[in-house]
A and B are shown apart, each in its own frame.
Chain A
Amino acid sequence: MGIEVRNITKTFGTFAALRDVSLGVATGELVALLGPSGSGKTTLLRIIAGLEEPDPGSGAILFHDEDVARRRVSSRRVGFVFQHYALFRQMTVFENVAFGLRVRPKRLRPSRNLVKYKVLRLLKLVQLESMANRYPHQLSGGQRQRVALARALAIEPKVLLLDEPFGALDARVRQELRQWLRRLHDEIHLTSVFVTHDQDEALELADRVLVMNEGRIEQIGTPDEVFHRPATEFVVKFMGQVNFFHGRLEGDKVHFSTMAWDWPEHAGASTQPARVFVRPHELDVDVERNGQPSLQAVVTRIHSAGPNVRLELRAASGEPLCAELTQERFRSLNLSVGNTVYVTPRDVTVFADESPK
């Protein structure tokens, strides 16, 4: 196991940032900590790094099966990349990357030539060889973040931790750097954890995604599992826009609006209220009833600029809905605002509603 964290609790005053969180990251794996702000994801990352102390009574923190919980950050050998780069501005790019090697105790410090060799190799890895003598303020945001990454890698860390590494960059650079980081990870296979509040980023980049909310882990799984088989309502909502219906579980079916849907998991249990979620792309839209039970709605707005067309609808009952269709489908339906349409779900996610008692 690359990183193992057992039963970590952290409170700031009366605010519980982490409640009994455990986590394992396989060696060479890239894991995303995903959650809204205040969910505890950054606190967890900082505790792994040793920048924050967990509450007394918390369990172990292991890197490659070695307990590091009592070690200070400076002896944990973590590569930490900060959201705002935290580069040393009075040092050149070269000096920044060399820092971790030059502060080593004398007997472990590489020779001047070896430092130079290692730094230049890292700068090549992050594609900044030509920038070695620049100062951080002469670089763009994306370049600065790559320097920060090279600096973190210079100490040959046991684990790499990235705190919202793309948070301060503009959308296009963010996209490029994301793909670049994934390729880099595939090349060096360093056990890595990164924090993000952007679900697209987590789903695209990570081997596994850990969704956090209010100091707890909601779900751990591959991007596929988290997106297609969300474990909790929170995960459903956090993974993007979703339509919500109040429903009822009865027998092996879930009933909502005017529709019923097979839900064999519930077979045999007693009737109970349910919450039903349907993603916009899981709604089929037609201009006439196709025989199946469907929901009648009126088109209120059309967003057609993009790979897909998004329709904002209002159901006959007054609830707003959102549907997403391909451009071809949209053209063949020939829709405009004010048209009446009939929507049928292709797939649903159902949670038994236990809250009102």
Chain B
Amino acid sequence: MTLKQHSILPGFGLTMGFTLFYLSLIVLIPLAGLLLKSATISWDQFYAAVTDPQVVASYKITFGASLVAASVNAVFGLAVAWVLVRYSFPGKNIVDAMVDLPFAMPTAVSGIALTAIYAPNGWIGRWLDPLGIEVAYTQLGIMVALTFIGLPFVVRTLQPALEDMDVEIEEAAASLGATRLQTFVRVIFPAIMPALLTGFALAFARALGEYGSVVFISGNLPMKTQIVPLLIMTKLEQYNYAEAAAIAVVALGASFAVLLFINIVQWWSRRYAA
């Protein structure tokens, strides 16, 4: 085996070097700093910091709400992407552009807007309130905010996958006697599964780190609606950098594990691809 193989694509050395440099600068060095900071306290202190009931509750809330939000997005994002790819209707471009709005809006603005709408006297909240459904200042509110910011990820990753799928594939399934449901479950869904997982993972990851929009709608009640990023902010405001770093490291580790798992599933579901 020769190490140096000549490729007709020039610039491998240069671009690979730049890639490593860039990733180090932007991703690895800050993360290493985080780890180092968390290492300035003893193991016992670290353990105490991350197992504090308030911290554990916030982990549950953040991961739980992110999971729900990403799942909701996976279902309804698929519906949105399907409509945008498969049908043409007046105003399609406007709807298409609207999908990106959660990307573009400052998260604080979305948070305040959602809070205003879902507060008991807000546009939507006033109809839900008599039904006993409270959104603002509850965990449901966190899920609503996380769903809002995660939607574009699912739609944008699914669109190319759906566009890629030939209508002939569906016609073939129908000609073989499959019903619409069978066609979807057996043919369409497996084909878009990898893209759906990517969208899910992106929406999930984004939700884990989301801060701006959630702090307004959640009300930040300890043990009830306090999310991990908020807890970290609180520690930072108390100049307790090491504990803040410790909480962040655990959150980071857990996120990484989840994303790795999704990647493995995705790799497995792509086994048939060329």
Which residues of A pack against B, CB within 8 Å? 49-51, 72-80, 82, 84, 86-92, 99-100, 103-104, 135-137, 148, 151-152, 154-155
Contact = CB atoms under 8 A, between A and B. Distances in A.
Contacts of A155: 176-177
Interface in B188-219: 190-191
A137 B168 CA distance: 17
A253 to B, nearest CB: 54
B88 to A, nearest CB: 14
Given A82-B168, A84-B168, A100 B274 contact: no
B271 to A, nearest CB: 8
B5 to A, nearest CB: 25
Contacts of B177: 74-75, 77, 100, 103-104, 155
Given A75-B177, A90-B190, A99-B173, 7 more contacts: A51-B171, A72-B174, A74-B178, A86-B166, A86-B171, A88-B173, A103-B177
B167 to A, nearest CB: 9
A74 B181 CA distance: 12
Given A89-B191, A100-B176, A103-B182, A137 B272 contact: yes
B166 A73 contact: no
Contacts of B182: 103
A93 to B, nearest CB: 11
Contacts of B190: 90-91
Contacts of A135: 272
Nearest to B176: A100
Contacts of B172: 80, 82, 86-88, 148, 151
Nearest to A76: B175
16 contacts: A72-B174, A73-B174, A73-B175, A74-B175, A74-B179, A80-B171, A84-B166, A89-B191, A89-B272, A103-B173, A103-B182, A136-B272, A137-B274, A154-B176, A155-B176, A155-B177
B169 interface: yes
Interface string B243-264: 0000000000000000000000
B272 A90 contact: yes
B92 interface: no
B216 to A, nearest CB: 43
Contacts of B273: 89, 137
A73 B171 contact: yes
A-B complex: 8 closest residue pairs judged by Cβ atoms:
A100-B176, A137-B274, A86-B168, A86-B172, A80-B175, A103-B178, A135-B272, A90-B190
A152 to B, nearest CB: 8
Given A90-B190, A103-B186, A135-B272, A82 B178 contact: no
A151 B176 contact: yes
A77 B178 CA distance: 11
B75 interface: no
B119 to A, nearest CB: 46
Contacts of A92: 272
Contacts of A100: 176-178
A99 B169 contact: no
B200 to A, nearest CB: 18
B202 to A, nearest CB: 22
B168 A99 contact: no
B162 to A, nearest CB: 15
Contacts of B272: 89-92, 135-137
Contacts of A88: 169, 172-173, 186-187, 191
A88 B169 CA distance: 7
A103 B175 contact: no
A73 B182 CA distance: 14
A82 B171 contact: yes
Contacts of B166: 84, 86
Contacts of A75: 177
B178 A99 contact: yes
A155 to B, nearest CB: 6
B154 to A, nearest CB: 20
Contacts of A80: 171-172, 175
Contacts of B274: 137
B175 A79 contact: yes
Nearest to B191: A90
Contacts of B173: 88, 99, 103
A14 B174 CA distance: 28
Nearest to A51: B171
Nearest to B185: A103
A51 B179 CA distance: 14
A100 B179 CA distance: 11
Given A86-B166, A88-B187, A89-B273, A99 B176 contact: yes
Q: Which one of B173, B177, B182 has the highest number of Cβ atoms from chain A below 10 Å of its Cβ?
A: B177
A89 to B, nearest CB: 6
Contacts of B178: 74, 99-100, 103
A99 to B, nearest CB: 6
Contacts of A73: 171, 174-175
A92 B271 CA distance: 11
B47 to A, nearest CB: 45
Nearest to B172: A86
A33 B175 CA distance: 20
A151 B173 CA distance: 10
A136 B166 CA distance: 15
A152 B174 CA distance: 11
A74 B174 contact: yes
Contacts of B175: 49-51, 73-74, 76, 78-80, 152
